[in-house]
Amino acid sequence: MSSAGAVDLSVKIGALRLRNPILAASGTFGYGLEFSHLVDLNRLGGFVTKGLSREPIEGAPAPRLYPTASGMLNAVGLQNVGVRAFVAEKLPVLRKFDTAVIANVFGYTLEDYVEVIRVLEDAEGLAGYELNISCPNVKKGGMQFGSDPTCVAEVVSAARKAAAKRPLWVKLSPLVTDIGLIARSAEEAGVDALTVANTYPAMALDFRSGKSCLGNPTGGLSGPAIKPITLKLVWETKKAVKTPIIGLGGIEAVEDVLEYLAVGASAVQVGTASFADPRASQRLVEDLTKVLFEAKLFTLSEIRDKFVTENG
């Protein structure tokens, strides 16, 4: 092998083969199209869309983003165009690209999740679904779907039945007592992959005015500050299940990608890093290719699970 271009970065996530293990994360990459003049979407392993709901959602009041030490808070309020507008207006353009488009799906009831998937099932051009279960379950007093193994089993089983055509990934909430328990519940309900994890509930305020720095009282923390915590969650999930894991949280550099792979992730997603550098995901594909070429490791297999093999 004589050039970096010949390095094989392809990975399999269940039945789905990706060109490489780097995807852009939900909510940080719009519907992909907003980035297509800056990033060569065809170079990515894929990307996950902004969360899609049954009806359009206007979202939270400004400010929606607030920088914190080594991280960022957001309270976007799950703003999105709604699943029908996504299918009518965004998907036809996305079909022109040769990249895996994963639709991120959320709802406030089981029926919401099922209905969003039902609409997407009739459309062409998607590689799979990712369920965001860090949402309040209105029929259970607002408790997050993702915080209770029984609720997780219910929402995943319902989504699994609706998602007959395509792989189903579930994005776990990091704020749980035992992530292994939640992961097993999702595995038994038939998911194809687990995305670990979402943002951490957090807050920032101005003590003089007594006001939140966001339009909402609280938000979700992301970025480098969360990487060590999420890395541990990926390892714990790996020890609990056989299902492939997609790791994300604070990835900025190629070393971060390799650490996630070493603790058991099969692929990764890049979120907050795209705010500082919209080309972050493509740059990481290029850096990963270079690192593997220079190290004379022509596949990822020598790095994947290395920490798990060494430490159990």
Ligand X SMILES: Cc1cc2nc3c(=O)[nH]c(=O)nc-3n(C[C@H](O)[C@H](O)[C@H](O)COP(=O)(O)O)c2cc1C
Mark the segment that binds ligand X (CB under 6 A) among 107-115, 182-190, 269-277, 296-304: 269-277
Q: Closest separation between CB of residue 49 and ligand X, Å? A: 8
> Is residue 222 near ligand X by the rule CB under 6 A?
yes
> Residues 18, 25, 72, 135: which is the catalytic one?
135
> Is residue 248 near ligand X by the rule CB under 6 A?
yes
The DSSP bridge partners found for residue 201 are: 220
Peptide bond into 197 cis (omega under 30): yes
- Strand arrangement of the beta sheet that strand 65-68 belongs to: 65-68, 71-74, 219-222, 200-202
Nearer to ligand X, 7 or 274 (CB): 274
Binding mask 151-190 for ligand X (x = CB under 6 A): --------------------x-------------------
CA gap 100, 112 in Å, rounded: 24
Q: Is 135 a catalytic residue?
A: yes
Binding mask 95-134 for ligand X (x = CB under 6 A): ---------x---------------------------x--
Number of helices (H) and strands (E) in the chain: give both, helices first. 10, 18
> Is residue 237 near ligand X by the rule CB under 6 A?
no
> Is residue 51 near ligand X by the rule CB under 6 A?
yes
User: How is residue 157 written in tokens?
Assistant: 């089983």
Please name the residues in contact with 204: beta carbons below 8 A apart, sequence gap of 6 or more: 66, 68, 73, 212, 213, 214, 219
> Is residue 251 near ligand X by the rule CB under 6 A?
yes
Binding mask 273-312 for ligand X (x = CB under 6 A): ----------------------------------------
Q: Closest separation between CB of residue 124 and ligand X, Å? A: 23
Mark the segment that binds ligand X (CB under 6 A) among 95-103, 150-158, 210-218, 248-256: 248-256
User: How is residue 297 written in tokens?
Assistant: 């490791």
The number of angstroms, rounded, from the C-alpha of 34 to the middle of its chain's C-alpha atoms is: 18
> Is residue 144 near ligand X by the rule CB under 6 A?
no
Cα pseudo-dihedral 279, 284, 287, 293, rounded to 10: -140
Q: Closest separation between CB of residue 305 and ligand X, Å? A: 22
Long-range contacts formed by 153-158: CB under 8 A, 24+ apart: 153/185, 153/186, 153/188, 153/189, 154/110, 155/110, 155/113, 155/131, 156/131, 156/185, 156/186, 156/189, 156/190, 156/191, 157/189, 157/190, 158/110, 158/113, 158/114
Q: Closest separation between CB of residue 144 and ligand X, Å? A: 12
> Is residue 81 near ligand X by the rule CB under 6 A?
no
> Is residue 199 near ligand X by the rule CB under 6 A?
yes
Degrees to nearest 5, angle at CA 91 with 280 and 121 = 115
Q: Closest separation between CB of residue 22 and ligand X, Å? A: 12
Q: Are 234 and 266 in contact (CB under 8 A)?
A: no
Q: Closest separation between CB of residue 268 and ligand X, Å? A: 9
Mark the segment that binds ligand X (CB under 6 A) among 10-18, 35-43, 268-276, 296-304: 268-276
CA gap 190, 97 in Å, rounded: 29
Residues found near ligand X in the complex (CB under 6 A): 25-28, 50-51, 74, 76, 78, 104, 132, 171, 198-199, 222-223, 226, 248-251, 270-272
User: Would you please indicate which residues are annotated as catalytic (active-site) residues?
Assistant: 135
